[in-house]
Amino acid sequence: MATERGVRRLAAVDAGAAGLGLFVGQKAADAAALAPELVIAEADPAADGQALLALADWCARFSPAVAMDAPDGLFLDITGVDHLWGGEAPIMADLAGRLAQNGIPTRMAIAGSPGAAWALAHFAPAIAAPGDEAALIWPLPVAGLRLLPADAAQIGRLGLRTIGALAALPRDQVGRRFGPEVMRRLDQALGAASEALMFRRPPSPWFARATFAEPISVPEDLARACGDIVRRLCARLEAEARGARRFDLAFHRLDGQAEQLSIGLALPGRDPAAVTRLFLPLLERVDPGFGIEVVTLAAREVETAKQKQQSLSSPISGGGDVEEISPLVDRLANRLGEGAVWRAEAFPSHAPERATKRRPPLSPVTNAGWDLERPRPVRLFRRPESIEVVAPVPDDPPLMFRWRGTAHRVRRAEGPERLGQEWWRRPFDTADPAKVRDYYRVEDEAGARFWLFRAGLYDAANPPKWWLHGLFG
């Protein structure tokens, strides 16, 4: 039940309520009067969306290409998949049976185009043989075209009740009278125009699936299943000289939940042992519930990849061989997270915080951008630390400073190196002389070298603040 313009109306009814003559859009008070025992729940579109998303993920066991049709529909592209079940009818029966077991009422249809399948599923569930779609959707109501409510109402007012009646009209008249959207939907339903579905994941032909006669749940079995399915998919990749950068493994449980694991590779790979090794530590996260009946594995970002045969104990070579280092990078990135492993690359910016950019460890980087004539510290603090200084002359380096409670007497100093704000990144009028930094490199009596800066220009009224930004070591 949802509240619409101050009136509480039924947003959805189940089969029992429909049997009592209740319908969607009915006022809640009327419905309660008709059926006093009516149980009403507040509509929750967000939760419905979540549930549909979960269902879409679950449907990946039938086909890797699942598109959501909010609020209550799913498209499955079963091209080339149905033979695994022995045809279109068995796959639909299997899907319907499993959904029914989980208490999800369904209407399903199979057709050659998404538009025709939608119309059939909503008004006359059937399996359309190739070429039969037009005949099947001809008698269906115009609402089967997924039209905007205003268009549908307009067509209805003109007495066109069925798709066939609309399709029989001359095309130019339909286009002129109802607009291009109606034409497009009509063509899509009849298969004359193509339609791009937003698949939940890009469809991947690199997909393997293993079904178990008895559900499995023991960790050793999961590991073995993982190894088997990885070997199968990798053998196909090997046969076509391809490698993948991502592998998504899904364990489908008896209760309809799917446990997803994925790993990434820095270089496209297809070594089953390496892929399995990356999955094994993740397996302990899998909660098998009452058991796992289906395992699917999809390879993503598949690229042509030639892999050299290399021995396990190759000695340290001349270096620069990214393939040699990639297993380590994969292990670390999968264990610690992709952002935790990087190579620093020079970035053209004079602001010290922005002078390096993190790049994936296997991409070639150049460090030509750093000016080695300007010394930079080994440790750069993310936040400069406030220090108290004794500086006699405004533009001179300090004679003494106190950092973390310790006084340091400056023995030698170098500077200033004036670094301004990057005014081109913000509106020009927000540039502020107080943002100018004068950096000094100073050495205390013990020889420790620090990178200090004074923020802002000297101003007698507001003494500038001093900061410690890094250590040279």
Partner 1 sequence: MAVRARLAVLEGAARRSALSFGDARVDGRLPGGGLPLGRWHEAVGEGMEIETAAAASAFVAALTAPLAERGEVVWIMRREDLYAPGLAGLGFPAERLIQVCVRDEAEALGTLEDALGAAGVVAAIGEAESPDLIAGRRLQLACERHGATGFVIRRRLFAGEARQKGSAAATRWRVAPAPSEPALGEPGLGAPRWRVTLERCQGGRPGAWIMEKSDGPLPLRVVAELGDRQLDSPQPFHLAG
Chain positions contacting partner 1, by CB under 8 A:
310, 313-319, 321, 324-325, 327-329, 331-332, 335-336, 340-346, 352, 355-356, 361, 364-367, 370, 372, 375-382, 404, 406, 411-414, 441, 443, 445-449, 470-473
Task: Using alpha carbons, select from 225, 229, 183, 188 the residue that is nearest to residue 206.
Answer: 229
Of residues 287 and 385, the one with the C-beta less far from partner 1: 385
Minimum distance, C-beta of residue 395 to partner 1, in the bound complex (Å): 15
Which CB atom, from 113 or from 326, has the smaller least distance to partner 1? 326
Report, in Å, the least distance between residue 305 CB and partner 1: 18
Smallest gap, in angstroms, from Cβ of residue 405 to partner 1? 10
| DSSP assignment letter at 144 | G
Concatenated DSSP letters for 169-225? S-HHHHHHHH-HHHHHHHHHHHTSS-----BSS---S-EEEEEEEEEE-SHHHHHHH
Helix 171-178 crosses helix 180-190 at what angle (to 10 degrees)? Answer: 130
CB of 340 to partner 1, least distance (A): 5
Q: Which is nearer to partner 1, 411 or 426 (CB)?
A: 411
Min separation Cβ 163 and partner 1, Å: 60
CA distance 287 to 277: 19
Minimum gap (Å) between residue 424 Cβ and partner 1: 21
Closest to partner 1 by CB, 70 vs 273, is: 273
Q: What are phi and psi of 151, to 5 degrees?
A: -65, -45
Q: Which is nearer to partner 1, 340 or 460 (CB)?
A: 340
Least separation in angstroms between residue 453's CB and partner 1 is 15
Q: 194 or 314: whose CB is closer to partner 1?
A: 314
Residue 289: name the closest of 252, 260, 322, 317 by CA.
252
Residue 138 vs 472, nearer CB to partner 1: 472
DSSP state of 443: E
E-strand spans in 40-166?
66-69, 73-76
Single out the residue of 22, 61, 60 nearest to residue 38, CA to CA: 22
Q: Which is nearer to partner 1, 441 or 454 (CB)?
A: 441
Read off the tokens for 359. Answer: 């790049």
Q: Which amino acid is at 160?
A: L
What is the nearest approach in angstroms of partner 1 to the Cβ of residue 243? 18
User: Distance (Å, rounded) from C-alpha 397 to C-alpha 235?
Assistant: 67
* Closer CB to partner 1, 62 or 451, in the complex: 451
Strands 242-253 and 292-304: antiparallel
Instruction: Between 167 and 329, name the residue whose CB sits nearer to partner 1.
Output: 329
Distance CA 6, CA 23 (A): 19
Which residue's CB is nearer to partner 1, number 248 or number 330?
330
Q: How many residues does the chain have?
A: 473
Smallest gap from Cβ 61 to partner 1, in A, equals: 35
Closest CB 416 distance from partner 1, rounded Å: 12
Question: Minimum distance between the CB of residue 409 and partner 1, rounded to whole angstroms?
Answer: 12
C-alpha to C-alpha distances, 238 to 107, 173, 241, 305, nearest whole angstrom: 41, 55, 5, 9
| CB nearer to partner 1: pick between 85 and 472 | 472
As a whole number of angstroms, the distance between CA 121 and CA 105 comes to 12
Residue burial 36-70, b: 16+ Cβ < 10 Å; e: rest: eebeeeeeeeeeeeeebeebbbbbbbbbbbbbbbe
Q: How far apart are CA 35 and CA 43, in angstroms?
A: 19
Q: Whole-number minimum distance, CB 325 to partner 1, in Å?
A: 4
| CA pair distance 337, 343, nearest whole angstrom | 14
The DSSP letter of residue 59 is G
How far is residue 259's CA from residue 237's CA, in Å, rounded to a whole number?
Answer: 24
Q: What is the CA radius of gyration of the chain?
A: 33
